[in-house]
Amino acid sequence: MSTARIRNISVALAVLFLAVVAMTVRAVVTEDPVREITLHARDMAFYLPGEATPNPTLRVTAGEELRFTLINDEPGVQHDLAVDASGLVIGPLTAQVGSRASATAVAPQVPGRYPYVCELHTKMMRGTLEVEPAAR
């Protein structure tokens, strides 16, 4: 095999390798998973799945994309969910057990503590969305 042919094959393999690396890096950089947060409404409080703590503090990262799902576990009572700091509103859900709805929002860019509430029952159903700084 001639030196020129070996050089051409080497260049072609190098270009192919760089193309694969570039596509992989782009896929990793642009893939921004949506964080799923599910809240169950029951006994006039919000609960995370499988947790017993009412109205838990939800810890998120500044600018993180979030998908909230609200599930009504309380028969005969309507509930909704609002996170004013991110413009998210869900509901009101029907008063049937198992009714659910989802919505997406972006966490506030400014770290801090922001309320989330059921606007129908604000005195009892309220928790905190704690926004932590994004990693640099």
Kind plus residue range of the DSSP H or E element containing 10: helix 3-30
State the pLDDT at residue 136: 72
Q: What are phi and psi of 57, to 5 degrees?
A: -75, 125
Kind plus residue range of the DSSP H or E element containing 24: helix 3-30
Per-residue pLDDT of the chain (136 residues; tens, 9 = 90+): 677 666 666 655 555 555 566 665 444 455 669 999 999 999 999 999 999 999 999 999 999 999 999 999 999 999 999 999 999 999 999 999 999 999 999 999 999 999 999 999 999 999 999 999 998 7
- Residue owning tokens 């991110």: 86
What's the rounded Cα separation, in Å, for the pair 19 and 25?
A: 10
Decide which of 3.30.2420.10, 3.40.1190.20, 1.10.4100.10, 2.60.40.420 is the CATH code for 35-132.
2.60.40.420
State the pLDDT at residue 2: 73
CB 39 within 8 A of CB 47: yes
